[in-house]
Amino acid sequence: MPDANPLLKPWTDPFDTPPLDRIEPAHFPPAFDRAMAEQMAEIERVAQSDQPATFENVIAAMERSGRLLRRVSAVFFNLTGAHTNDALQAIERDMAPRLARHRSAILMNARLFDRVKAVYERRDKLGLAPEPMQVLSRYHTMFVRAGAGLDEGAKNRLAAITERLAALGTAFSQNLLADEQAYALVLEDEQDLAGLPDFVREAAARAALERGLQGKHAITLARSSIEPFLQFSERRDLRERAFRAWTARGDTDGATDNKAIIAETVALRAERARLLGFANFAAYKLDDSMAKTPDAAADLLHRVWEPARKRALRERDALQARVSEEGRNFRVAPWDWRHYAEKVRKAEFVLDESAIKPYLQLDKMIEAAFDVARRLFGLDFHERADVPAYHPEVRVWEATRSGRHVGVFMGDYFARPSKRSGAWCSGFRGQEKLDGEVRPIVVNVMNFSKGDPALLSFDDARTLFHEFGHALHALLSDVTYAMIAGTNVARDFVELPSQLYEHWLEQPEVLSRFAVHHKTGEPLPDHLLNRLRAARNFNQGFATVEYVASALVDLDLHALRSADNLDIRAFERAALERIGMPDEIVMRHRTPHFAHVFSGEAYSAGYYSYMWSEVMDADAFRAFEETGDVFDADTAKRLHDFIYSAGYSQDPDEAYRAFRGRMPAVDALLEKRGLLET
């Protein structure tokens, strides 16, 4: 009965959080049915009104519509990403095209678009404040980009494409998860464990135990499991096996293969772009971004590519020399790179990852992220045991400022088979205040290895800070309209708050307080801290090449005008040959498991955006450094007011100029990565 469905009842837990401990898969189909019906009725009232179109009865009314659907969808898609099961996946396969169809029916409603257009065309006479003016502009843009202005035949085709793409994205992500769940490299004896430090062995033992392999060790395809194995294992044959499995996700030629899904997706995206009057999908996607054109994005990537490639080739030669020093006779392969890079780093900087990791306790790094938020923005975090979560491992905090409630933050930190790989920030509720203050519920999801205590690599700690930067972008949001709240900004601007936040992890005053040995409680020694900072750009050629290669292939795929008979392997190989990809490095995300781009459209033709934002984050942190205080109060206030709290209330370049006084130059990025040639 609907009254027994917790998704449809008022939520009475603290802060009106969803009753995550009482929601079952069977609750979702009827909840979706009611939510879509409610929103469609609300939309029809807006579209069919005989009153003159105004901002309030069209734009604000649409903002108020669909609140139940947003609520149900947020819970559902958080679960399908972070804690899914067969029942949820079956519902997801059914709901993805239905939700796409529902959205198309709204955005292609001719009477509704006429009313939106009527308000938009009179915008300069309405006396709107800047924020509602921006909301009006975003709504008009959304309708136009969805095809609302096309003829009926084109709209019907576009709706069919949108529905099919939703189904393909779901299939892609479920195939990828299935590949990740199915694989484990079982380490049988001490020989298989050769070279692995205690923290890798302990994590592998826990992973094996979770898979019913008592007394053994297992390496999974979670990045926090496989990367340390590739880094430390002395067994080259096992490194190769694990690496090949990692890079073959979605490319197995079996039931979970993603290549046909990608080919169809690229073809449909190209067709949609043509229907909307664009040369290709990349041109369509970037038209509503800071970059504006594929050429602008590609120009940035190529400016970084050449110095990064030169650096990577020098790094490769150093690794090859190390192989020779050991008296071994093989050419460095992709599964060797991390292993020999660790050896070279240890020799050059007297810095051993296994010596750093005991100082990076997960709990202490969470404390560090919270403390930086307190010093920059005045936030405090209080752990709550009375707020329901969707898994026993999920922790919940209330964020406050000067004693006032700001939002709810959830942290889901450990890898498990029910969770897709990677790290991300999402939300169960966004901020708005159209009809009273609504505060956000934000979640960070990671895939760290468990331990007692859980210990992080420095890259893991950086990931934690990165995702918490996204969380702060959502928590600090202070706008009226949900459409432009929090992280609902241009794709190549959304990474600025997250990547900028990473900088504070590296500050001595943060590490000296929170990087403490898990056994002795002693802080990270100065000599290790200095070596860590000195080595910050070590292996940066490799890291930049593997990222930029993925971003360029993404742009190349979506620059196609058509994709008939697209052979993904051949396309990827040819694209990498054109840019001179070193044989010893593999793309950070090979196309068949490129979830950023093919599990949905968020980063499609937009993976470049991490680097676009990095140009800004490198320059933005300089604003603090120039004051001589990385916690300078005046700079932090500008950062809060114009970036973290402002959502999409103004265009991104205007927001950045308001913070910094100017736009940044690429040199800031090259210097940050140690790629600036002198």
Residue pLDDT, tens place only, 435-481: 999 999 999 999 999 999 999 999 999 999 999 999 999 999 999 99
One of 63, 202, 467, 614 is an active-site residue; which one? 467
Element (H, E) at 134: helix 130-146
Q: What is the DSSP string of 589-657?
A: S-GGG-HHHHSSSTTTTTTTHHHHHHHHHHHHHHHHHTTT-TT-HHHHHHHIIIIITTTTSS-HHHHHH
3-state secondary structure 500-569: HHHHHHCCHHHHHHHCECCCCCCECCHHHHHHHHHCCCCCHHHHHHHHHHHHHHHHHHHCCCCCCCCCHH
What is the mean predicted confidence (pLDDT) over 140-156? Answer: 97
Angle subtended at Cα 548 by Cα 545 and Cα 549, rounded to the nearest 5 degrees: 80
- At residue 352, the pLDDT reads 85
Report d(CA 620, CA 290) in Å as an integer: 17
d(CA 604, CA 491) in angstroms, rounded, equals: 10
Express each pLDDT in 209-244 by its tens digit.
999 999 999 999 999 999 999 999 999 999 999 999
Beta-carbon contacts of 213 under 8 Å, excluding residues fewer than 6 positions away, are 184, 186
Q: What integer best gives the mean pLDDT of the chain?
A: 96
* Residue 618 near residue 672 (C-beta atoms within 8 A): yes
Kindly report, residue by residue over 356-365, the tens digit of the pLDDT: 999 999 999 9
pLDDT in tens, 506-554: 999 999 999 999 999 999 999 999 999 899 899 999 999 999 999 999 9
Express each pLDDT in 364-420 by its tens digit.
Answer: 999 999 999 999 999 999 999 999 999 999 999 999 999 999 999 999 999 999 999
**Angle made by CA atoms 514, 520, 526, in degrees to the nearest 5:** 55
User: Any alpha helices (H) in 276-405, and if so which ranges?
Assistant: 281-286, 294-325, 334-349, 353-356, 362-377
| Residue 467 annotated as catalytic | yes
How far is CA 173 from its chain centroid?
14
Q: Given this model, what pLDDT does residue 678 score? A: 46
pLDDT tens digits, one per residue of 38-71: 999 999 999 999 999 999 999 999 999 999 999 9
Binned at pLDDT 50, 70 and 90, residue 3 comes out as low
Report percent pLDDT > 90 for the chain: 96
320: pLDDT strictly greater than 70? yes
Written as six digits, the tokens of 294 are: 């594929």
Which amino acid type is present at position 338? R
Cβ count near 640 (within 10 Å): 18
**Total count of residues recorded for the chain:** 678
Domain ranges within the chain, ordered by starting residue: 2-107+109-149, 183-247
Q: What is the CA radius of gyration of the chain?
A: 25
Its pTM stands at 0.96
* The domain over range 2-107+109-149 is classified in CATH as 1.10.1370.40: yes
Q: CB 592: neighbour CB atoms within 10 A?
A: 25
pLDDT tens-digit series, residues 593-614: 999 999 999 999 999 999 999 9
Rounded CA-CA distance 118/4 in Å is: 43
| pLDDT score, position 2 | 52
